[in-house]
Chain A
Amino acid sequence: MTRYILTRLLSLVLSLVAASVAIFLVIEILPGDPAAIMLGVNAQPDTLAALRAEMGLDQPMVIRYLAWVGGMLHGDFGTSYTYHTPVAKLIGDRLAVSLPLALFSLLLTVVIAFPVGIWAAARRGSAADTLIMGITQLGVAIPNFWFAMLMVVLFAINLRWFSAGGFAGWDKGLLPALKSLTLPAVALALPQASILARVMRSALLDTLSEDFVRTARAKGLSRAKALRRHALRNALIPVLTIIGMQFSFLLAGGIIIENVFYLPGLGRLIFQSISARDLITVESVVMLLVFAVILVNFLVELAYALVDPRLRSGR
């Protein structure tokens, strides 16, 4: 097990190094001068020189890379050119919305998908199964911004249970903050839960036809108990993989939903910094997201090992 964790950790560090080099080079290799790109074609020469000095563009590339990485390790992500605030603070503010939102919708996803997927698999081929599969198909197909707007019309405008948009802020207390995240979380969770329920169902159907489930039945377990005790855990590996990918997506991919609900999240920050050609912010946010994806993958691999003893023993 220790070896398994150590090899995965090593690969985590190597992936991060490779990703940081790649991101840095992409920004470097962009044709033209990053400072000139940020300032646009009508920039004054002295403004350009000042920005170049501020960005350290007069230094050699290796030094700049090391300074960038070193800064990030200390939590110094540089200063945003458009917002004139430290990028770290910008990201921190946005993460305070995006991370809870991602976790909230992932929780909804799992809570919906597991029972639904298991229920459908246990009744394979029945009318209920067909109906559930139809509904999840619809859930995947409906654009979530449209679903989000429907919910706004119903729950915010007609019923007035939730506000139509904006974020209350965590300083107003837990409940108002969670309340303003609820509709976006539901909108984000709908397609994800549909996907995960389908994955859960098919993974479970695969394991239900395995020989060891038949063995369990021969011992005297009922169909339902054999599913719960033997098939379920064996079906978790593909499900965990999908959950990991969904979390990474939810963290940054909620940009449309963030726009529908006027949420100050990471997705909007990236969008705004790209439009404003604020490369310093773009570089750091992208690095942060890469870090999140790699970290989630690492956690998913740890979860694999918890589920499957064959991985623990390194085979």
Chain B
Amino acid sequence: MSLLDIRNLSLSIHGTPILHDVSLRLDPGRILGVIGESGSGKSMTAFTVMRLLPEGAEASGQVTLDGQPILSRSEAQMCALRGRDIGMVFQEPMTALNPLKTIGDQVAETILIHEKIPKRAAMIRAAKALARAELPQDRFPLSRYPHELSGGQRQRVVIAMAIALRPKLLIADEPTTALDVTTQAQILRLLTRLVREDGMGLMMITHDLAVVAEMADEIAIMQKGRVVEAGPTGALLENLQHPYSRALLAASTHAPARSPAAQDTPLLEVTAVHRFYPTPRKSLFGAPGRFHAVKGVSFKLRKGESLGLVGESGCGKSTLTRAILGLEQIQDGAIRLNGRPVFQGRQPDPEVRRRMQVVFQDPYGSFNPRHRVGRLVAEPFHLSPNMPRAERDTAVAEALTAVGLTPGDADKYIHEFSGGQRQRIAIARALITRPELILLDEAVSALDVQVRARILDLLADLSARYGLSYLFISHDLSVVRAITDRVMVMKAGEIVEAGPTETVFRDPRHPYTRQLLAAAPRLPEGLGS
């Protein structure tokens, strides 16, 4: 008998169908990878098993855990089940913990909800659970608050909470999507170890084929609320049947066709740049400390080149990006575009700023929802004032067309567009001043693989058409490999390795580069080619 058995599960929310006849099985001690893009219903399947659905949700079909039906249980019975028999780990470790309670209290709470034992005993068991999640008490006392921990450490706390009572089933919903590659690798190893040790079943939800390819025993691929293909990992990946599964695989290994067009003339020159931040004073009248975020970084980006900058969160890559854009003062060194310094005294030079634009990660948060797309796209024109209205409208129409949208879209509001379309609009906004350099700061990280593949194609195409240069900042190594000519690896404010992309990826010199490459999840060799 299976541990988790989902049969013909259908779900609708306020009458809108979300899931159609979903059937999945998971045995004890096994890992089931559920893969799909956003909106495929993978998270909703998990929330149905937990019965933590939004209001207006109606589920039909059968869900059994250890032979016991789930859907017909009362809410009180579900409360007794959640946390004890089913544990859950979420995507966003930064917000998944209560900021006002200590980690010890939060882990112990799981135990105290389900067992009548003294608080003290619960704390001892909480310490054990945290230790199993690799947060030993001597280094991470129970009295720590979430804000004193990094994202990866917080995710370990969430895992400790979920496994404290050794549940039969663990559901992990994109548990590593928000984490750096090396942290991701550690968390995935931890989850795999716990599954094997406790013999629990793990339902691992992710959009990343490579993540499950390495750890899952079985895989189910979902699209638009349906399971389109399911089976044992190895066999399934080697012989994908469904067109959607194939498209998904192709997209996740997609490299746009590019013809390197780098000229010898340097476009962007960054010379020995330093950036310090003051840190809070230790005592009321003590001198403030300082944090050296960028430590003497130098590099050149040539005209027409696509240069990658990889590194984990906190390595200084965002600070460097902001400094290049003139959004951040530097304390030492020089940044020049076409030989002209970015800074004129303390202010960025508008003439230089117009030649470079930026596209940020979050296609949802980087637009003012109350402005029409036309106005959003025309925003960079504040750098070239007194432009006639007609000229402005023509430029907007051109930019929208260039990114595959229509001029008519200028009259719409941003909420009418999907994530991928929004990122196209962000690129249109960057294109409108006809820049020579575009900084792409994690610009495709939040996108589904198929959308990401299309945006990468678009970027390659725009670069060829307009002779654009890119500085591509990302923590995603596979994307950087697909779109850049050269790559730089940044660690703790320094560039530790730089070179032609293929050379660095094939023959990394610096130990840190090797560590990064080893940690990145990979699809088995030969797949997708």
Chain A interfacial positions (CB closer than 8 Å to B): 3, 6-7, 210-212, 214-222, 229-230, 233-234, 307-310, 313-315
Contacts and interface: CB of A to CB of B under 8 A. Distances in A.
B147 interface: yes
A309 B100 contact: yes
Contacts of B52: 214, 217-218
Given A220-B82, A222-B76, A315-B147, A215 B99 contact: no
Interface stretch (B24-32, B109-117, B372-380): B109-117
Interface string B228-242: 000000000000000
Given A211-B95, A219-B83, A233-B100, 4 more contacts: A7-B284, A211-B90, A221-B113, A313-B147
Interface in B100-122: 100-101, 109-110, 113-114
B172 to A, nearest CB: 12
B113 A219 contact: yes
Contacts of B99: 212, 234, 308-310
Nearest to A310: B147
B183 to A, nearest CB: 19
Contacts of A307: 100
A28 to B, nearest CB: 34
A304 to B, nearest CB: 11
Contact of A221 (B79, B158, B162): B79
Interface string B160-185: 01100000000000000000000000
B97 interface: yes
A314 B283 CA distance: 11
B459 to A, nearest CB: 32
B80 interface: yes
Interface of B: 50, 52, 75-76, 79-84, 87-88, 90, 92, 95-101, 109-110, 113-114, 145, 147-148, 158, 161-162, 280, 283-284
A220 B284 contact: no
B100 A234 contact: yes
A220 B84 contact: yes
Contact of A220 (B101, B113, B147, B148): B113
A234 B100 CA distance: 7
8 contacts: A212-B98, A212-B99, A219-B161, A220-B84, A222-B79, A229-B109, A230-B101, A309-B99
Given A3-B283, A3-B284, A214-B90, A220 B114 contact: yes
Nearest to B161: A219
A6 B283 CA distance: 10
A229 B161 CA distance: 16
A216 B98 contact: yes
Contacts of A6: 284
B265 to A, nearest CB: 46
Contact of A219 (B76, B100, B109, B280): B109
A218 B82 CA distance: 6
A220 B100 contact: no
Contacts of B148: 313
Contacts of B81: 220
Contacts of B82: 217-220
A217 B75 CA distance: 11
A215 B158 contact: yes
Contacts of B113: 219-221
Most buried by B among A6, A217, A307: A217
Most buried by B among A217, A220, A234, A307: A220
B98 A220 contact: no
Given A215-B161, A309-B147, A310-B145, A220 B96 contact: no
A254 to B, nearest CB: 35
A234 B84 CA distance: 26
A113 to B, nearest CB: 21
Contacts of A210: 95
A211 B92 contact: yes
Contacts of A218: 50, 52, 82-83, 87-88, 90, 162
A117 B158 CA distance: 30
A212 B147 contact: no
Contacts of B100: 233-234, 307-309
Nearest to B164: A219
Nearest to A212: B98
A212 B76 contact: no
B97 A220 contact: no
A217 B64 CA distance: 20
B79 A230 contact: no
Nearest to A207: B98
A222 B100 CA distance: 19
Nearest to B158: A215
B156 to A, nearest CB: 14
Given A217-B82, A219-B109, A313-B148, A212 B96 contact: yes
Contacts of A229: 109
A196 to B, nearest CB: 21
Contacts of B95: 210-212
A308 B100 CA distance: 6
Contact of A230 (B75, B98, B284): B98
A221 B147 CA distance: 23
A99 to B, nearest CB: 32
